Amino acid sequence: MKLNVIKQRRLWWTISGLAILAGLVAMAISWQQIGTPLRPGLDFAGGTRLQLTRDCSVPDNCSEPIDLAVVRQVLAEQGLESSSLQVIGEDRQTLAVRTINLETEVRSQLQSSLENALGQFDPNSIQIDSVGPVIGQQLFASGLLALVVSFAGIIVYLSLRFEFDYAVFAIIALFHDVLITAGVFAALGLVLGVEIDSLFIVALLTIVGFSVNDTVVIYDRVRESIKLQPSEHIDKLVDDSVNQTLARSINTSLTTTLPLLAILLFGGQTLKYFALALIIGFVSGAYSSIFVASTMLAFWRERTGRAYATQADAEPLPGTVEDTP
């Protein structure tokens, strides 16, 4: 198999552009409907999430699934009608309630009224997540800051190891991956009500770290090829480099995605969407390294008259338009 990445670069760019555009549209719709581009979870919006499981060692406690109508009534009595409810687990014995941020007393009262209505809960399997609005904003701000700092760190490192234009296109590829992942989650938020939490920020940062790997490996090969064949046109060098590293790109994406698939399918509830975000990001990262970062680099070098390394050395004037052979 030989990919002709340069020749069809407009096609690759269009695909990427459309995917990003779709994501941006999803974010815009989400902005209109809920006021944020992605549906913020407890970590960012603040609130209280209670997860309670009935104690099935108590006789007759678990004979029926949890009745949401009963739960709604209890919540209404406490003035918490706007809370979201979910019954989870195969036996429908676990209740998850998401409310506004509750004080300790209010929360324990809610817990005991639920216990009265539904039967005894198992204290060993309780889960409480309560996050104040200020903390949520802090988590979000520190996450965004981490993202910006790692972008800056990667630009500096790549500029030192390669050249500045390599670094710029690597960062464009990173934005591509982050935007696509965020876009998919914006859509999931609209369709399935999937929320993003601090693990989502972690996922984005990991995507940044991993997908730049793919780009670096291809760049590394491009740099090597330029050194070995300085009189060859950049388009051909990039094409060859991508193809020479293609098996590696595919295999690595496969080996990192396999464990993630395992987590997505068999891991706990907490890590499910984390794994999904990583899978989307890694696949998009592999794509952007092969089809976006490298083709853009070639395009840029061509436009700035550096299509040939030897010629560029002799005539280092930027902005000279190269007469394409």
Partner 1 sequence: MARQRLLLAVIFALAIAAVLVIVQIPTRLGLDLRGGSQLTLQVQTTDKVREITPEALDAVKRVVEGRVNGLGVSEALVQELGSDQLLVQLPDINDPEQAERVLGGTAQLEFRAQRPGTEQQIVVENQVLQGHLQELAALQQTQSRGLPDSDAVSELEQLQAAIATSEAAIADLFEPPQLTGEALTNAQAGLPPSGSIWQVEIQFDREGGERFADLTRSIAGTGRGLGIFLDNRLISSPTVDVQYAETGIAGGGAVISGNFDAASAQDLAIQLRGGALPVPVEIVENRTVGPTLGRDSIQSSLYAGIGGLVLVLIFMAVYYRLPGILADLSLVIYALLTWAAFNLLGVTLTLPGIAGFILSIGMAVDANVLIFERTREELRSGKTLYRSVEAGFYRAFSSILDSNVTTLIACGALFWLGAGLVRGFALTLAIGVAISMFTALTCSRTFLLFSLSLPQFRKPELFCPGLKQAPKY
Q: Which of the residues 226 through 245 are near partner 1 (CB under 8 A)?
A: 244-245
Beta bridge partners of residue 85, listed in sequence order: 97
Residue 209 near partner 1 by CB under 8 A: yes
| Residues in binding contact with partner 1, number by CB under 8 A | 74
Residue 78 makes contact with partner 1 by CB under 8 A: no
User: Looking only at residues 145 through 174 of this chain, which bind partner 1 when binding is defined by CB under 8 A?
Assistant: 145-147, 149-150, 153-154, 157-158, 161
26 or 218: CB nearest partner 1: 218
Amino acid at 56: C
247 near partner 1, rule: CB under 8 A = yes
Q: Residues, the chain, total?
A: 325
Among 163, 165, 220, 232, binds partner 1 (CB under 8 A): 220
Window of 26-34, 65-73, 195-203, 228-236 that interacts with partner 1 by CB under 8 A: 195-203
Burial of 203 (0-12, 13-18, 19+ CB in 10 A): buried
**Is the CB of 277 or the CB of 307 nearer to partner 1?**
277
- Closer residue to partner 1 (CB): 5 or 218: 218
Cα distance between residue 287 and residue 16, in whole Å: 9
260: contact with partner 1 by CB under 8 A: yes
Query: Smallest gap, in angstroms, from Cβ of residue 84 to partner 1?
Result: 19
Among positions 21, 28, 68, 126, the unique one binding partner 1 when judged by CB under 8 A: 126
From 142, 175, 310, 313, residue interacting with partner 1 (rule: CB under 8 A): 142
Q: Give the residue from 116, 32, 104, 30 showing the smallest Cα distance to 71.
A: 116
Phi, psi (5° rounding) for residue 2? -130, 125
- Interface with partner 1 by CB under 8 A: which range of 57-65, 74-82, 187-195, 196-204? 196-204
Contact range with partner 1 by CB under 8 A, out of 1-9, 20-28, 102-110, 226-234: 102-110
- Using the Cα atoms of residue 247, residue 152, residue 166 and residue 18 in order, give the sign of their dihedral: positive
> Which residue in the set 40, 119, 143, 183 belongs to the binding site for partner 1 (CB under 8 A)?
143
**Does residue 198 bind partner 1 (CB under 8 A)?**
yes
User: Quick one: which of 26, 208, 286, 307 contacts partner 1 (CB under 8 A)?
Assistant: 208
Distances, alpha carbon 226 to alpha carbons 106, 193, 231, 240, 302, in Å: 68, 49, 8, 11, 14
Would you give the DSSP letter of residue 48? E
- The interface region with partner 1, picked from 21-29, 183-191, 226-234, 259-267 by CB under 8 A, is 259-267
247, HSE (Cβ side, Cα atoms, 13 Å): 2
Query: Under 8 Å CB-to-CB from 314, ≥6 apart: which residues?
Result: none
* Distance from C-alpha of 142 to C-alpha of 139, rounded to nearest angstrom: 5
Check residue 274 for interaction with partner 1 (CB under 8 A): yes
Region from 60-68, 178-186, 270-278, 310-318 binding partner 1, contact rule CB under 8 A: 270-278
Phi, psi angles (nearest 5°) of residue 228: -75, -35
Dihedral angle of Cα 249, 251, 253, 257, to the nearest 10 degrees: 180
* Closest CB 142 distance from partner 1, rounded Å: 5
For 200, phi then psi, to 5°, come to: -65, -40
Identify which range of 121-129, 183-191, 229-237, 315-323 contacts partner 1 by CB under 8 A.
121-129
53 conformational bin, left if phi > 0, alpha if psi -120 to 50, beta if neither? beta
CB of 116 to partner 1, least distance (A): 16
Which CB sits closer to partner 1, 124 or 231? Answer: 124
